[in-house]
Structure 1
Amino acid sequence: MFAVVSGSMSAQRLSWLKQQSSMVASIVTDTVALDLPLPAIPSALRTPHERAAYLLTHFWDSMDFADTLRSRHPAFMEQNLVNFLSLFPHAQAEARTGAVKVLMQRAESDKTLYLLLAELAEKYLYTNSSPMQNEEHFIPFLEEIVDTSLLDETEKSRFRFLLSAALKNRPGTMATDFTYLTPNGELQTLYTVPVTCRLLLLFYDPDCLHCRETINALRTASRLQQQIDSGQLTVLAICVGEDRDLWKSSLKDLSTQWFTGFDMGCIRQEERYLLPDMPMMYLLDGEKRVVKKEVSLHQLLLELQE
């Protein structure tokens, strides 16, 4: 399955996918075949994007959605959805969106199946522990779910919230502005911070242990420091805690080369940025356009090496 479209899937990612496949296969009954047969790709389609788009479009062609022995079988559907999602990194956004639309509209024939697919899409594309986690890949599923007539408004409410969160400050859009208090008592905004190349936007709470660990790791990361020294990276660390005195006492733990500030309420209270976990980091370009949203420390350091 994974060799059909050429690409640069990491060994760690491939190992995880194979582990998931093995786990699912071990609990599939003898009466249900594990994988849907893949459609034959026309020889005229040569680029990875073209081949992936074709596979995504026709992935579910052999699936009889009225066959509840298969469609309501959690392990069968999980295995095939994982195979389907593994093609997403190789396809363009338009192809992904179209393929998800076809899948979810066909699944509307059975509410049990529809809810199962919604649950699995969230598990693999939204859960932080999943190597397949990708909010941009999850958005097409959310858009279909909130638009379907199959579910009532109560059933859609959580998905509406997730979609609203996913659409805020998504990669490629201009970051939402906010006002913060500087250590010397002045009010500044995100867009007044001078940036030459890229800006690391760090939201933290000094009362959060993980925040303190991340801040220390950032301070001691040689590659990050090199980029700061060369003017390629600017850091803006914003305290979103409620204790201003604690924020002031925490400033000694931050690099003197960073811009620092205290949230005046518009980040959390007005939910301009949703902060499900702390700390939260965004990587912006010189114009304050979002490059990476909710980036982890590991992802950030890899990005800075490129």
Structure 2
Amino acid sequence: MKHLVHFIPLVVLLAIAASCSGKSNKKAATLPEFQPASVPAPVVSAEEAFKYRIVHYWDKFPFDDIRSVRQEGYAEKAFADFVGLLLAADAPLAREGIRQMVSRMNTSLAADSIQKQVLVKFNDMAEHFFYHPNSPYRNEELYLPVLEHMVSSPLPDTLEKARAVYLLELAHKNRPGSPATDFHFIAALKNLPHIPEHTVPKTLYSLTSPFILVYFLHPDCSSCKESTRELLASELITYLVQEKQLTILTIYPEEDPESWLNYLPNLPSNWLHAWNPNSEIRSENLYDLNAIPSLYLLDNAKKVLVKDALSVKQIEGILRDKAHFL
């Protein structure tokens, strides 16, 4: 849904970097191509073999060899192939695969300086694949174990782990199953470029419909326009809005509402449009707005059902599962 910049796999980036590096960087010895652990003979079923490949993928990775993170493309290719396996796994198995990777990193017998470089490298790769707003593999739940390890490790110094600390704080906010963070907003008069005088700010928790879709947008965002079209094209979402079972709350999170007010006529009149007058959402990092648009689906109790949805189809799937009246 987000197209702010093009996502370029790390393997491609490393290949470009390698082509530009001087011959003086050649090493006398390089590691052979990484080969994950083979599935042992006692494992016969395809399901168990696949599970074994994920859980034991990193068993033979040379975490204690500095060349594993310095040799061009070595770690990147191993990580990219691992992510490819995770795409075919269910959520619990994928998370277990990540946990096993972190565990292997943590049990390395290498010197602290090597362990730190390995940790920083794997954290960077995990962020690139699982957190980059335009990554097709974006998955905060898979990034969390790596982030937590990066933050808890005594090896990186305060400056080196500053970004990880910040991202971990955001990741822990508004997680699926947890209560959404409340915020104030001032609503416009339907989709007209006007805010009534003496408007009293409302809060997210004042909304009472069975489902609420919080839609952070910006007038200059082309991806927001595409997301709006996809939402309007959804028969299920249109039906739920018409039946007042779903409130779509669009939020402009910036301070200056002028451009937003001018943009309002382009938005559906049966959605609720508002802005955050004191910019508390941005200034207090109430929500992770890594990129715009960002959509959060909540239930009537304001429990988060979907955080920063990957697609409208994902929202539709949860609504069909939760809306038992359909």
TM-score by length of 2: 0.73
Greater relative CO, 1 or 2 (CA 8 Å, sep 6+) = 2
Counterpart of 1:100 in structure 2 is 101
1:154-197, CA deviations, whole angstroms, 9 ceiling, x for partnerless residues?
Answer: 1111111111122221222221111111234132111121222x
1:256-286, CA deviations, whole angstroms, 9 ceiling, x for partnerless residues?
Answer: 2112222132212222113232232222233
Asked if 1:145 corresponds to 2:153, the answer is: no
- Select between 62-71 and 22-31 the one with higher mean Cα deviation: 22-31
> Which residues of 2 match residues 144-293 of structure 1 at below 5 A?
144-183=149-188, 184=196, 185-196=199-210, 198-206=211-219, 208-210=220-222, 213-214=225-226, 216-218=228-230, 220-223=232-235, 224-265=237-278, 266-293=280-307
* Cα distance change on mapping 1:154 and 1:108 into 2, 3 Å: farther
* Cα distance change on mapping 1:66 and 1:178 into 2, 3 Å: closer
Structure 1 stretches lacking a partner, 5+ long = 1-15
1:34 alignment partner AA:
E
* Cα distance change on mapping 1:248 and 1:166 into 2, 3 Å: same
Cα deviation for residue 247 of structure 1 reads 3.8
Cα deviation for residue 291 of structure 1 reads 2.2
TM-score by length of 1: 0.77
Counterpart of 1:78 in structure 2 is 76
Q: Is the 8 A contact 1:127 1:133 kept in 2?
A: yes
* Cα distance change on mapping 1:150 and 1:42 into 2, 3 Å: farther
Cα deviation for residue 45 of structure 1 reads 8.5
Cα deviation for residue 52 of structure 1 reads 5.5
1:185-238, CA deviations, whole angstroms, 9 ceiling, x for partnerless residues?
Answer: 132111121222x321112233x2426624652564242323322445320112
2:81 alignment partner AA:
N
Counterpart of 1:66 in structure 2 is 64
Q: Is the 8 A contact 1:210 1:278 kept in 2?
A: no
Q: Is the 8 A contact 2:39 2:52 kept in 1?
A: no
Distance in structure 1 (CA, Å) of the matches to 2:165 and 2:238 = 40
Distance in structure 1 (CA, Å) of the matches to 2:32 and 2:247 = 53
Cα deviation for residue 63 of structure 1 reads 2.7
Counterpart of 2:32 in structure 1 is 33
1:52-77, CA deviations, whole angstroms, 9 ceiling, x for partnerless residues?
Answer: 65434422222333344445324121
- Select between 268-277 and 37-46 the one with higher mean Cα deviation: 37-46
Q: Is the 8 A contact 2:58 2:101 kept in 1?
A: no
Distance in structure 1 (CA, Å) of the matches to 2:296 and 2:254 = 18
- Select between 274-283 and 118-127 the one with higher mean Cα deviation: 274-283
Out of 298, 316, 320, the position equivalent to 1:304 is 316
SS in 1 for 2:297: strand
* Cα distance change on mapping 1:115 and 1:22 into 2, 3 Å: closer
Cα deviation for residue 248 of structure 1 reads 3.7
- Select between 154-163 and 118-127 the one with higher mean Cα deviation: 118-127
Distance in structure 1 (CA, Å) of the matches to 2:142 and 2:213 = 23
Give the root-mean-square deviation of aligned CA atoms.
3.5
Distance in structure 1 (CA, Å) of the matches to 2:95 and 2:292 = 33
* Cα distance change on mapping 1:22 and 1:57 into 2, 3 Å: same
* Cα distance change on mapping 1:186 and 1:108 into 2, 3 Å: farther
Distance in structure 2 (CA, Å) of the matches to 1:274 and 1:302 = 18
Q: Is the 8 A contact 2:64 2:109 kept in 1?
A: no
2:287 alignment partner AA:
Y
Distance in structure 1 (CA, Å) of the matches to 2:259 and 2:213 = 22
* Cα distance change on mapping 1:245 and 1:119 into 2, 3 Å: closer
